[in-house]
Structure formats: structure tokens, C-alpha cells
Amino acid sequence: MPRYALITGASSGLGLALAEALARRGRNLLLVARARTALESVACELTQRFGVEVLFRVCDLSEPLQLSGLLHELEQGERQIDLLVNDAGLGVSGPFIEQDWGRLQEQIEVNVLALTRLCHAFGQNMAERGGGQILNVAALDAFHPGAWMSSYHASKAYVLNFSEGLRDELKSRGVKVSVLCPGPIRTAFRDKGGIAANDLSTCKRALSAEEVALVAVRALEKNQAIIVPGWRNRLLGLSFRLAPRWLVNRLAARRNRLAMAG
Ligand SMILES: NC(=O)c1ccc[n+]([C@@H]2O[C@H](COP(=O)([O-])OP(=O)(O)OC[C@H]3O[C@@H](n4cnc5c(N)ncnc54)[C@H](OP(=O)(O)O)[C@@H]3O)[C@@H](O)[C@H]2O)c1
């Protein structure tokens, strides 16, 4: 049975860079996102450059029925998913009570529900086969609350905690689970969420999607539990654990407010 890495959010940014890094290593891919044209051109390019099979499926992960359809199709098919990369995500910025509910719901559907559902479906499948790997994309923001992006931070805290728990549950079944916690990445993510990337600390720590993907793919090969790319981000991650929580929360709120105002 042919094996594939399923990557959500592969039409742009980090998901696209992860797709390229995995194709470079000879992996067949199944790419998932909403933007058909982008997926088509990524699939075509990666197939030509790396000689791997690259399939794609258009699916809005905030629509449970579309996700059910995708899962049903994959259950019936002959393709084996031996690596699941849950990268798709969005970040809503601004005062929580002033946000459009539809947008907040979309964020939770994609960042939390779709990711959990995909882990449930493919985790079962992998456990039955006695092997497989899952990479969930959280963020450095997962380590602490962040006013003015409260629901985004909370969604990524869920991804971090869920992934760590699932790792322990599935270890004895031969399924490896890792969680990627990047700091700022130079992608369109911030523009889409109305977040300005104009404060100095953010710019200094920002990595390219390709840099983050390379670190992630290498760490996956070592079955690393929590992956934080970049020494500045690792240092910051450590300081979140050592500094008083009120201070971390206050600094995060200040940064998010500045980004919002920018
Ligand atoms: N950029 C950063 O600073 C940063 C930092 C830490 C963590 N992250 C995380 O990294 C991940 C990737 O973000 P990025 O920076 O690469 O941003 P991006 O360029 O905006 O990519 C987001 C991806 O998610 C997909 N997506 C969004 N909503 C979707 C939906 N409803 N259904 C299906 N796919 C959907 C998008 O595809 P379509 O629009 O084609 O559907 C796109 O491929 C996210 O989980 C994000 O939270 C980003």
C-alpha cells in the first residue's frame, strides 16, 4: 500500500515549506487546504522537482461536513497515511468581545477541532498498524496566555497539552507524536490575522518558513517531543517557565496590543 504524509495548510507558509522539506526526503504527499490553485501548483512543482507523488484535496477544515467527507474518502481508499502534519491554523487578534464570532469559531474549528479529529482518525489507524507519526503545529504562544489574542493563545495551549498527552498514550502503540512551537515566522499569517509584525523583538526572532520546516523535519527524525526552532525562541521558552506568570502575561499582552495597534 503506498504511503503518504498528509499535511494540512500546505497551500502556503509553513505548511508549504514542510511539504517541500518532506518531498526532498522522498516522501509522497497528500496536501490539504482551501486554495485549489495554490495546491495544484505546489503539487505540480514538488512532483517535478523531487519525483514523489503529490496529491491534494481541497477541504475547508472549519466545515465539519467537508472534513467528514475527506476522512470517509481516505478510509475507503488504498492510501496509507504514515505521517500526519496538522499545520493549518489562523490567529484572530484584537479585543475578544469585539471580534466577529464567525471568525473566532473558524479559528477554534481549524486550530482545535479539525486537528483533534484528524489525530483521532489517523491515530486509531496508526495504532492498529503499530506505527506512524503525528506532528501538530502549536506556537511559542502556547506556553502562556496572551491578552488581545486570548483565544489564539488558548487554542495553541490546547494543541501543546493535547499533543504531549497523546504522545504518552500512543507511545506503547508505536505511534510517535511531536508538537512544533515556533516563534514568529515570516509568512502571510500575521497579515491575515490583522497582526502587525513591527516590534523589534518579533522581527529579530522571526525565522523563515523554510528554516522552521528544516528544524521540524530533523527533530521529527529524532522523535523530539516539543520542537522550538531558533535559539532566541528556546531561550524565551525557558524564561516563560522561570519568570513569574503575571510578568510573562503582562509582557505578552503588551506585545499583542502593540501588534494590534500597528
Ligand atoms: N507565522 C507565524 O508567526 C506563526 C508562529 C507560530 C505558529 N504559527 C502556526 O503555523 C501554522 C501555519 O501558519 P503560517 O504562518 O504558515 O500561516 P499561513 O501562510 O497563513 O498558512 C496557513 C495555512 O492554513 C490553511 N488554512 C487556514 N484556514 C483553513 C481552513 N479553514 N481550512 C483549511 N486550511 C486552512 C491555509 O490554507 P488556505 O487558505 O488555502 O485554506 C494555509 O495553507 C499555523 O497553525 C499557525 O498558527 C505561525
pLDDT score recorded for residue 84: 98
Closest atom, ligand 1, to C-alpha of 15? 16
Cell of 17: 515549506
What phi and psi, each to the nearest 5 degrees, are found at residue 208?
Answer: -80, 160
Q: Is 179 helix (H, G, I), strand (E, B) or coil?
A: strand
pLDDT score recorded for residue 191: 77
Is 62 near ligand 1, meaning CB less than 6 Å away?
A: yes
Closest atom, ligand 1, to C-alpha of 8? 34
Of all protein residues, the one whose alpha carbon is nearest to atom 44 of ligand 1 is 89
pLDDT of 112-135, one tens digit each?
999 999 999 999 999 999 999 999
Of all protein residues, the one whose alpha carbon is nearest to atom 6 of ligand 1 is 139
Is 227 near ligand 1, meaning CB less than 6 Å away?
A: no
Query: What structural domains does the chain harbor?
Result: 3-261 (3.40.50.720)
Residues 6+ apart with CB under 8 A from 107: 89, 90, 91, 92, 151, 152, 155
Half-sphere exposure at residue 237, Cβ-oriented, CA atoms within 13 angstroms:
21
Is 81 near ligand 1, meaning CB less than 6 Å away?
A: no
Do 177 and 166 touch, CB atoms closer than 8 A?
A: yes
> In whole angstroms, what is the distance from residue 11 CA to residue 116 CA?
20
Closest atom, ligand 1, to C-alpha of 188? 19
pLDDT score recorded for residue 200: 44
Bridge partners of residue 179, in order along the sequence: 136, 226
pLDDT of 67-84, one tens digit each?
999 999 999 988 999 999
Residue numbers of the chain with a pLDDT score lower than 50 = 200-201
pLDDT score recorded for residue 198: 54
> In whole angstroms, what is the distance from residue 226 CA to residue 36 CA?
32
